[in-house]
Amino acid sequence: DAKTTQPNSMESNEEEPVHLPCNHSTISGTDYIHWYRQLPSQGPEYVIHGLTSNVNNRMASLAIAEDRKSSTLILHRATLRDAAVYYCILKTSYDKVIFGPGTSLSVIP
Amino acid sequence: EAGVAQSPRYKIIEKRQSVAFWCNPISGHATLYWYQQILGQGPKLLIQFQNNGVVDDSQLPKDRFSAERLKGVDSTLKIQPAKLEDSAVYLCASSFTGQGYEQYFGPGTRLTVT
Give pLDDT tens digits along chain A (109 positions): 558 999 999 999 999 999 999 999 989 888 999 999 999 889 999 999 999 999 999 989 999 999 999 999 999 999 999 999 999 999 887 777 888 889 999 999 9
Sort A93 into a burial class: Cβ within 10 Å, 0-12 / 13-18 / 19+. exposed
Amino acid A92: pLDDT: 84
Amino acid A1: pLDDT: 58
Give the number of beta-carbon pairs within 8 Å between A and B.
60
B1 or A5, which is more confident? A5
B62-85 tens-digit pLDDT = 999 999 998 889 999 999 999 999
| 3 state SS of B18 | coil
Amino acid A2: pLDDT: 57
Provide the residue type at B113 as one letter: V
Q: Determine whether the interchain pair B41/A36 forms a contact, defined as Cβ–Cβ distance below 8 Å.
A: no
Amino acid A98: pLDDT: 80
Tell me the percentage of chain B whose pLDDT exceeds 70: 99
What distance in Å separates the CA atoms of residue B10 and residue A80, rounded to the nearest whole number? 28
B11-30 tens-digit pLDDT = 999 999 999 999 999 999 99
Whether B55 has a pLDDT exceeding 70, the answer reads: yes
Residue from A22, B93, A59 nearest A48 by CA? A59
- When pLDDT is averaged across residues B80-97 and rounded to a whole number, the result is 96
What distance in Å separates the CA atoms of residue B22 and residue B7, rounded to the nearest whole number? 5
What distance in Å separates the CA atoms of residue B103 and residue B92, rounded to the nearest whole number? 10
Q: What is the DSSP letter of A71?
A: E
Q: How far is CA A96 from CA A2, A26, A99, B97, in A?
A: 10, 15, 10, 10
Residue from B53, B60, B52, B46 nearest B93 by CA? B46
Instruction: Output the 3-class SS for B49-76.
Output: EECCEEEECCCCCCCCEEEECHHHCCEE
* Minimal C-alpha gap between A21 and chain B (Å): 17
| Cβ pair B56, B67 in contact under 8 A | no
Amino acid A100: pLDDT: 83
Q: Which of A91, A94, A101 comes nearest B55 by C-beta?
A: A94
Mutation target vs A (from B39, B58, B99, B105; most A CBs, 10 A cutoff): B99
* Minimal C-alpha gap between A93 and chain B (Å): 7
How is the beta sheet containing A18-23 ordered, strand by strand?
Answer: A18-23, A70-75, A61-64, A55-56
